[in-house]
């Protein structure tokens, strides 16, 4: 018999007529009487429904419940309490660190954020750091310890290493070779030092597929000893970037992007900087530049020599391209406030010349500083690898230890390393996931992920971060520290002890170092190296006159190929081509015309003994005499995601001479998103931009007209009003925000075929617009996400009310209501809605534990789109409720906002006067995308302003 207390334990319980009658007798006497009377069924049901409704309303009317609620001291079994926390570590790319904080939710790593106190991060990250969380959960990392492909146990490995140790002690390490990438870790450096002491005949080889040898050698030529350069771009009024990787991959690039962007918006800075870029193929700094000059390899070399000469002598350049004189004059007019950066692909002599020019411009100590090398024992890495290959060929290598490197895949084809490594009697590779090198070494050891182990690493300025593990190892593995220790002794201590040993005798405060993510006072010493006078006279060997030069660059997302099994990075549209899952040869429009090929058509490339047939992509703004191959694709042994995607361009490396290009047969469809989600409007000026001079005369020349008074009445404002402003002056198109949004919001990847069907799921995309001719276009990036329109066209066409407006201005998706008509997407002028054609998340290559538990995983047939990171808003609301105050104006940071290196996004609660976003929306540059649609979006933009040199006339690119 149910109780009469007003509580019920199940629907069946509540439906019991007697119980209901008894309850009604207490609460609603008339209803009880009616229930006692004999009635027909429909009337009973009607009355029951009314009773339920009244009971609910009665509850509302009762005011606050009396008494004090007391939570259980011990939660009920199986209750999972939310407890997010952050642990500092670092994201390391080719040896150099960017400090990050990893967010844990219910005890597992969920999301990467930048570390605000770390000099290389300042709170932001790049796309690769954001995607590292997916790499951590990658099931393809799971691999056994293996000898000749046969799984082995730990004891067998220890015995084998013990036998090697005995032999090495006898021979003083003769025949021992250790191969690593660039090392900045003080602990690895210390351990290798100890190895060298024990085995004086051993050799340590260092090699990275994406070489910085020219930068190293250039510094050596200029200063006579190894030094590194640390730009301070916030102080530079004029920046010249020569084939530069400053904003995309140079050590410190996340920081540099912040510094450059801090001087780009004339409403936020007293003086805009001016950027010139000279380059053979478009880069991010080239897109950000006020003047971009296209120069093929030979022209670029000549121009750099002439420019350096002009800066060094103060003379006006004679000859050369017409921009040379004005650029040299501008640099000279800003002595002490100018800086020249040259990319690592340019020869060492040009680096030395640029060092000399920078010294002449007086920027040392203001726009840049020279420091002692951050990397341990720098060497010429190409020579180091060649030496290893030669020694193997000559039978001098008995023991080869490869640590987290993949030379069999990425070394120049001419070295023939795959065959060479097979001939080494004892070869061992420790790698994060099975790869081409561990496939041919005798021993293959799985390596612990950086989130599973202790280590230390240094940033571009030398700052040390202790990398602390974020979780227990997901899979069996060994760390580099342990392995190096085991080359010395049987009972080698683990990584924690190794790292602590390095820092034990220093003043470093261990706890402070772990909690802050850096060790104070570890910035590299400023170098007192003096410029060698002869460096100002260095000229690189003249490049041969040739119709076509083959250049190589790392893929912006897969880098040298080490991230090829990361689906987020594979499917992330490349900043300029918007290509996913592929790396066609980038050719200039001119070469496309000459060969009569278009995007996706095959060409045959011959260079030296190598021949490769691959598709092409016509890259607007690329020099007419060069083609560019991107590394990172074409992996054979990497895991289920990356295997077979794209082409291995390393096959073409190591050969000198001119490549022969011929039109091939047929072609392929390339999965580029550049034509997806087009905006349609008559005033097709989506990404607005203009000149500083025009802005100074008429600041509002790009802003929206005053809003026309509306006859409609809008709902009263709620307790908060969420809004966003995106600064097109800042956005460099780096894609960090896109991956951050994927990680935060459980956005699935769909695979190459579905991208070809325009079904990619990114909630945030970076539109890239070209203007002008394909040979020399202007480029503008524009991040586009759900605009959260106050007059949302999607809401009025949804037949089931699945997309609705809330009182805080959010355009909300109710997934459970969505029946998949897609009318909303049809009616959205911004094309930001994404439809789950299949259960994409179910087919994904990531385990459920890798998802953000705060966000729903959407099923098949459901529409989804940006929520302004509603879960973050909800968390702030709860905190504010507990503290009995409104949510602050700047309290919520969306995932995209937090990740952005240039702080392009400003988000907040516009109901609070301190909200930064209010100020941004007052900017004279503020405008709404497709404002003529009268959708009243909560997302607005600040138009882009460029600062061209009046001596060069209108903006060149
Ligand atoms: Fe994605 Fe949140 Fe940014 Fe929207 S606000 S695009 S959901 S990260
Ligand atoms: Fe990079 Fe996105 Fe910021 Fe643009 S808005 S700079 S693409 S993170």
Going from the Cα of 930 to the center of ligand 1, the distance in angstroms, rounded, reads: 20
Q: Answer whether 868 contacts ligand 1 (Cβ < 6 A).
A: yes
Report residue 890 as tokens: 């700047």
**Which atom of ligand 2 lies nearest, measured to the CA of 766?**
7
Q: Which ligand is nearest to the CA of 942?
A: 2
d(CA 366, CA 894): 34
d(CA 788, CA 830): 11
Going from the Cα of 903 to the center of ligand 2, the distance in angstroms, rounded, reads: 8
Q: Answer whether 787 contacts ligand 1 (Cβ < 6 A).
A: no
Contacts of 36 (CB under 8 A, 6+ apart): 21
Q: What is the pLDDT of residues 43-70, one digit of tens each?
A: 544 444 444 443 433 333 333 445 665 6
Instruction: Output the pLDDT for position 44.
Output: 44
For the chain, the residue count is: 957
Confidence grade of residue 841 (pLDDT, cut at 50, 70, 90): confident
Confidence grade of residue 28 (pLDDT, cut at 50, 70, 90): low
956, 293 Cβ separation under 8 angstroms: yes
Going from the Cα of 113 to the center of ligand 1, the distance in angstroms, rounded, reads: 14
405, 435 Cβ separation under 8 angstroms: no
Instruction: Output the pLDDT for position 106.
Output: 80
Q: Answer whether 122 contacts ligand 1 (Cβ < 6 A).
A: no
Q: Answer whether 744 contacts ligand 1 (Cβ < 6 A).
A: yes
Most ligand 2 atoms within 8 A of CB, residue of 121, 730, 732 to mutate:
732
Q: Which ligand is nearest to the CA of 258?
A: 2
**Which atom of ligand 2 lies nearest, measured to the CA of 903?**
3
Q: What is the pLDDT of residues 273-327, one digit of tens each?
A: 999 999 999 999 999 999 999 999 999 999 999 999 999 998 888 788 999 999 9
Confidence grade of residue 871 (pLDDT, cut at 50, 70, 90): very high
d(CA 360, CA 314): 10
Q: Answer whether 130 contacts ligand 1 (Cβ < 6 A).
A: no
Instruction: Output the pLDDT for position 316.
Output: 86
Going from the Cα of 555 to the center of ligand 2, the distance in angstroms, rounded, reads: 18
β-bridge partners, 114: 100
Going from the Cα of 728 to the center of ligand 2, the distance in angstroms, rounded, reads: 9
Backbone angles phi, psi at 117, to 5 degrees: -90, -5
Q: At what angle do helices 297-313 and 348-360 cross, to 10 degrees?
A: 30
What's the whole-number mean pLDDT along residues 222-251?
Answer: 97
Shortest-distance Cα residue to atom 3 of ligand 2: 900
Q: What is the pLDDT of residues 432-477, one digit of tens each?
A: 999 999 999 999 999 999 999 999 999 999 999 999 999 999 999 9
Q: What is the pLDDT of residues 789-823, one digit of tens each?
A: 999 999 999 999 999 999 999 999 999 999 999 99
612, 605 Cβ separation under 8 angstroms: yes
Instruction: Output the pLDDT for position 843.
Output: 78
Going from the Cα of 262 to the center of ligand 2, the distance in angstroms, rounded, reads: 14
Q: Answer whether 735 contacts ligand 2 (Cβ < 6 A).
A: yes
Pairing of strands 274-279, 238-242: parallel
Residue 617 has pLDDT above 50, yes or no: yes
Q: What is the pLDDT of residues 546-562, one digit of tens each?
A: 899 999 999 999 999 99
87, 112 Cβ separation under 8 angstroms: no
Contacts of 533 (CB under 8 A, 6+ apart): none
Instruction: Output the pLDDT for position 848.
Output: 87
Most ligand 1 atoms within 8 A of CB, residue of 677, 726, 894 to mutate:
894
Q: What is the pLDDT of residues 477-534, one digit of tens each?
A: 999 999 999 999 988 889 999 999 999 988 889 999 999 999 999 999 999 999 999 9
Confidence grade of residue 863 (pLDDT, cut at 50, 70, 90): very high
State the Cα torsion 706-711-716-720 to the nearest 10°.
-30
105, 853 Cβ separation under 8 angstroms: yes
Contacts of 699 (CB under 8 A, 6+ apart): 267, 924, 925
Report residue 908 as tokens: 């907040």
Q: Which H/E stretch holds residue 690?
A: strand 689-691
d(CA 202, CA 509): 35
What's the whole-number mean pLDDT along residues 739-766?
Answer: 97
Confidence grade of residue 24 (pLDDT, cut at 50, 70, 90): low
605, 647 Cβ separation under 8 angstroms: no
Q: Answer whether 638 contacts ligand 2 (Cβ < 6 A).
A: no
Report residue 140 as tokens: 């393809």
**Percent of the chain predicted with pLDDT > 90:** 82
User: How much is the pTM?
Assistant: 0.90
Q: Which ligand is nearest to the CA of 556?
A: 2
Shortest-distance Cα residue to atom 6 of ligand 2: 731
Q: Answer whether 729 contacts ligand 2 (Cβ < 6 A).
A: no
Q: Answer whether 899 contacts ligand 1 (Cβ < 6 A).
A: no
Confidence grade of residue 71 (pLDDT, cut at 50, 70, 90): low
Going from the Cα of 785 to the center of ligand 1, the distance in angstroms, rounded, reads: 7
């Amino acid at each position: 018999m149910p109780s009469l207390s007003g509580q019920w334990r199940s629907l069946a319980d509540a439906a019991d007529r007697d119980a209901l009658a008894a309850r009604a007798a207490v609460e609603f006497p008339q209803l009880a009487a009616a229930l006692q009377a004999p009635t027909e069924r429909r009337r009973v049901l009607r009355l029951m429904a009314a009773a339920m409704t009244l009971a609910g309303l009665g509850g509302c009317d009762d005011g606050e419940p009396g008494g004090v609620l007391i939570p259980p001291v011990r939660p009920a079994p199986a209750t999972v309490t939310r407890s997010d926390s952050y642990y500092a570590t670092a994201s390391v790319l080719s040896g150099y660190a960017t400090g990050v904080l990893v967010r844990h939710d219910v005890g597992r790593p969920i999301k990467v954020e930048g570390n605000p106190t770390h000099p290389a991060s300042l709170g932001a990250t790049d796309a690769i750091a954001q995607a590292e969380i997916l790499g951590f959960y990658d099931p393809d990392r799971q691999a056994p310890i293996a000898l000749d492909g046969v799984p082995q146990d730990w004891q067998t490995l220890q015995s084998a290493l013990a036998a090697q140790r005995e032999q090495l002690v006898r021979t003083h390490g003769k025949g021992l070779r250790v191969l690593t990438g660039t090392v900045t870790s003080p602990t690895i450096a210390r351990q290798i030092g100890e190895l060298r002491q024990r085995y004086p005949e051993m050799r340590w080889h260092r090699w990275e597929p994406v070489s910085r040898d020219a930068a190293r050698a250039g510094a050596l030529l200029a200063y006579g000893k190894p030094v590194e350069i640390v730009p301070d771009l916030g102080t530079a009024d004029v920046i010249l970037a020569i084939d530069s990787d400053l904003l995309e991959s140079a050590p410190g690039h996340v920081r540099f992007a912040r510094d450059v962007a801090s001087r780009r918006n004339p409403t936020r800075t007293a003086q805009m900087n001016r950027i010139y870029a000279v380059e053979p193929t478009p880069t991010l700094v080239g897109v950000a530049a006020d003047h971009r000059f296209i120069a093929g390899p030979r022209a670029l070399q000549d121009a750099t020599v002439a420019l350096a000469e002009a800066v060094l002598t103060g003379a006006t350049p004679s000859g050369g391209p017409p921009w040379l004189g004005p650029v040299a004059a501008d640099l000279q007019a800003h002595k002490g406030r100018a800086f020249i950066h040259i990319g690592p692909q340019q020869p060492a002599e040009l680096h030395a010349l640029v060092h000399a020019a920078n010294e002449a411009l007086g920027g040392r100590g203001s726009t840049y500083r020279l420091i002692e090398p951050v990397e341990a024992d720098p060497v010429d890495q190409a020579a180091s690898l060649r030496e290893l290959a030669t020694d193997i060929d000559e039978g001098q290598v008995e023991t080869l230890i490869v640590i987290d490197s993949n030379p069999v895949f990425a070394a120049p084809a001419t070295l023939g390393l795959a065959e060479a490594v097979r001939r080494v009697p004892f070869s061992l590779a420790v790698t994060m996931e099975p790869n081409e090198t561990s496939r041919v070494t005798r021993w293959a050891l799985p390596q612990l992920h950086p989130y599973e182990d202790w280590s230390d690493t240094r940033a571009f300025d030398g700052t040390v971060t202790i990398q602390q593990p974020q979780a227990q190892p997901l899979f069996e593995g060994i760390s580099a520290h342990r392995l190096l220790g085991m080359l010395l002794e049987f009972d080698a201590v683990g990584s924690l002890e190794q790292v602590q040993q390095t820092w034990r005798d220093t003043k470093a405060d261990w706890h402070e170092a772990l909690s802050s993510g850096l060790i104070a006072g570890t910035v590299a010493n400023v170098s007192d190296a003096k410029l060698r006078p002869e460096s100002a006279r260095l000229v690189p060997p003249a490049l041969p006159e040739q119709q076509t030069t083959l250049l190589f660059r790392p893929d912006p997302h897969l880098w040298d190929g080490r991230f090829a099994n990361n689906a987020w990075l594979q499917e992330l549209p490349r900043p300029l081509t918007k290509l996913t899952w592929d790396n066609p040869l980038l050719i200039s429009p001119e070469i496309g015309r000459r060969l009569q090929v278009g995007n996706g058509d095959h060409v045959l490339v011959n260079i030296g003994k190598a021949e490769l047939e691959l598709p092409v992509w016509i890259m607007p703004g690329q020099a007419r005499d060069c083609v560019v191959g991107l590394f990172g694709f074409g992996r054979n042994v990497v895991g289920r995601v990356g295997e077979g995607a794209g082409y291995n361009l390393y096959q073409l490396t190591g050969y000198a001479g001119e490549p022969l290009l011929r039109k091939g047969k047929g072609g392929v469809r390339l999965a580029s998103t550049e034509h997806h989600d087009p905006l349609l409007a008559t005033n097709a000026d989506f990404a607005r931009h203009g000149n500083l001079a025009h802005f100074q005369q008429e600041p509002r020349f790009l802003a929206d007209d005053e809003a026309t008074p509306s006859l409609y009445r809008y709902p009263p404002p709620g307790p908060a009003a969420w809004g966003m402003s995106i600064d097109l002056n800042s956005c460099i198109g780096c894609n960090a925000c896109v991956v951050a949004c994927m990680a935060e919001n459980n956005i699935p990847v769909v695979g190459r075929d579905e991208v070809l069907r325009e079904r990619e799921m990114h909630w945030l995309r970076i539109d890239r617009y070209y203007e002008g001719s394909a040979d020399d276009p202007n480029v503008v990036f524009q991040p586009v996400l759900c605009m959260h329109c106050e007059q949302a066209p999607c809401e009025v066409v949804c037949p089931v009310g699945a997309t609705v407006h809330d009182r805080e201005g959010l355009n909300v998706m109710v997934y459970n209501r969505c029946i998949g008509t897609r009318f909303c997407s049809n009616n959205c002028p911004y094309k930001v809605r994404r439809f789950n054609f299949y259960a994409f998340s179910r087919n994904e290559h990531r385990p459920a534990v890798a998802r953000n538990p705060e966000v729903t995983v959407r099923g098949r047939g459901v529409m989804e789109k940006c929520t302004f990171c509603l879960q973050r808003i909800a968390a702030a609301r709860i905190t504010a409720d507990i503290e009995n105050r409104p949510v602050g104006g700047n309290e919520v940071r969306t995932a995209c906002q937090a990740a952005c290196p240039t702080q392009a996004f400003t988000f907040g609660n516009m109901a609070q006067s301190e909200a930064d976003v209010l100020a941004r929306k007052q900017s004279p540059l503020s405008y709404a995308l497709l404002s003529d649609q009268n959708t009243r979006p909560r997302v607005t933009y600040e138009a882009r302003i460029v600062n061209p040199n009046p001596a060069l006339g209108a903006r060149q690119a």
